[in-house]
Structure 1
């Protein structure tokens, strides 16, 4: 199951694509939380029937992005937006999708010509904490009850397809409703400072995860 959460679009002003305005962060968090809660609700209703027929565990893939990402700094993502978990755009079509150059965004001849500065990085990554997930649904569901456990999900994958981050706090909240999680794969972007708390999120996934058998990190060094 692939949950792709789409955040609102944004534009560039005289100062470029600045970091996500603080007043918009709650809206992004709400969008992410509601999407996850909706999916968990569906899985919770069907998991008994699924398990009754002896079906194996499911893999849950999470991704978050704004359509504007590929029009500004992450132009290479334009060819990945149409990818799915089961298909990939042919290589011949990928090169036609690239814009040759865009100096304002540090993009030259299909490659980044300079590192992102902090504001650009935060614009794409939705701040260093990533989209916040509310495990009690208080943003949208004022019940105060925790998100129901989903026993049929045994693998969690966060692909490199998009650059939005997932902090250790958010990973812990997501892991909490996946009691049978046996495999976790995180594919962060290559910049080391995009994942400043490497040890922290590893700890967050390992602590209390008696059934976790595989934890892996993959970084795409060929943006």
Structure 2
């Protein structure tokens, strides 16, 4: 279809639809949230996509947007979820019935938070247990290396409508097949337990370390969260504390960037502490970071000290035009912004829902930044305070603070729509059943020939990369979880134990 006008294609949306599910699985204790069929579709789709796009030569900019969901996600506990491509002005909602007591929806509004089991279902791990096709990370890496490189792709989007979680190690391998990648826009959700977050942060360190030698120009990171969801889990802090090691990895990866925005995934203090002597950012024009100090509950001297330290680091950025440090949550929003306007004006702005005074020494430090980057600049300080505005979520804070590049506009709209529906209820005009999907959202009816090909390929991958340990001791130490996985894959696990020979 695009053979003769391929240069006109600027955006590709890969929409992966998982199996639909009923109420027996939407919030129960069945951990098999992603089935064999789902993994077959995912692996085959990624293979076909990379194989096809590898024949496209580099011709300008080409954006790849990858999404994964089940059409049933918005039919049970999460009726406010919306899903669509990045190009539409409004997300396409697939809404369920207004009254659904079984899922705590009364008169179009949720009467309670979802269960932890329901949340685990929609936040399941992609290519994870128990139907993983790969024995371990090394085997998965070997599979990714069999896929051809795709030089045509220059930008990747992974938006927050992806509640299913791609492991950072998987993303590291995926991005390694894109040699001309210039922009990575990543909007993951936070993990919902301390242990999961620790494992995820370790994966983040590897992911961002792998980006450091790449020729990226733009890196936009936004770790999404929902303060209602965190209250559903016993071992989940209301607001998670960023890991300083992740901050170090992102700081190092930013040295050759033109634009960095990292919201909630790291803290500005970790960025500042990671800076080493001799480091500089020769190309960076825009930097946006979040700070947990900007909560309205910290001592003003700590905030002034942090913002003054940011000015010292800004002196290492000769092309800097904008630096933003912000924070937002229910009931609170704050922004510190330094911005060069034209060649002769620098503006220092404080905007918040709570009182704070920029100290003279802080203003002087940022005047030095402006003087270092321009000639003959005059300096303006602006302060805005609105203690009466209602902030229902971090998305409201983003709107109030007029932040333009911390996440995709479609993603911002989805957060706002979800909170509005939970507070105000589902619109009266929307009926008892699912709305008729538009053509772009119709689930494709794959032919028997396609499924036959997909199953053959998936079976080949499982046979090759779900390798069986040769050591008797190694098999025993893997425990019952691994033995169950072998049985699911069609192996006689008891026979494997009997036949395996101890290492001598």
Q: Give the TM interval when normalised to the shorter protein.
A: 0.7 to 0.9
Question: Which of 92, 100, 103 is the aligned partner of 1:102?
Answer: 100
Q: Any unmatched runs of 5+ in structure 2? A: 1-11, 225-411, 419-504
Structure 1 residue 6: deviation in Å?
0.6
Aligned counterparts, 1:1-223, within 5 A = 1-13=12-24, 17-18=27-28, 21-22=31-32, 25-45=35-55, 47-48=56-57, 51=58, 55-77=59-81, 80-81=82-83, 83-89=84-90, 97=95, 99-108=97-106, 110-125=108-123, 127=124, 129-131=125-127, 146-189=146-189, 193=192, 196-197=197-198, 199-209=201-211, 210=213, 211-218=215-222, 219=224, 221-222=415-416, 223=418
Residues 99 and 162 of structure 1: CA distance in aligned 2, closer, same or farther (over 3 Å):
farther
8 Å CA contact 1:206, 1:212 repeated in 2:
no
SS in 2 for 1:157: strand
The normalised TM-score by structure 1 is 0.73
Structure 1 residue 16: deviation in Å?
5.3
SS in 2 for 1:60: strand
Structure 1 residue 100: deviation in Å?
2.8
Residues 88 and 29 of structure 1: CA distance in aligned 2, closer, same or farther (over 3 Å):
same
Structure 1 residue 117: deviation in Å?
3.0
Residues 32 and 158 of structure 1: CA distance in aligned 2, closer, same or farther (over 3 Å):
same
Structure 1 residue 168: deviation in Å?
1.1
205-214 vs 164-173, which moves further: 205-214
**Over residues 117-144 of structure 1, what are the superposed CA-to-partner deviations in whole Å (9 max), with x where a residue is unaligned?**
332122112x2x3345979xx99xxx99
Give the Cα–Cα distance (whole angstroms) in 1 for the partners of residues 160 and 97 of structure 2: 21
164-173 vs 203-212, which moves further: 203-212
SS in 1 for 2:146: coil
8 Å CA contact 2:122, 2:163 repeated in 1:
yes
Structure 1 residue 21: deviation in Å?
4.7
**Over residues 151-200 of structure 1, what are the superposed CA-to-partner deviations in whole Å (9 max), with x where a residue is unaligned?**
121211111224211111221121121122222122234x6528825533
Q: Which has the higher contact order (CA 8 A, sep 6+)?
A: 1
8 Å CA contact 2:19, 2:37 repeated in 1:
no
146-155 vs 158-167, which moves further: 158-167
Q: Any unmatched runs of 5+ in structure 1? A: none
Structure 1 residue 86: deviation in Å?
2.0
The normalised TM-score by structure 2 is 0.35
**Over residues 67-108 of structure 1, what are the superposed CA-to-partner deviations in whole Å (9 max), with x where a residue is unaligned?**
11111122122xx34x33322448xx96x9464343322334
Which structure: larger Rg? 2
Give me the CA root mean square deviation.
Answer: 3.5
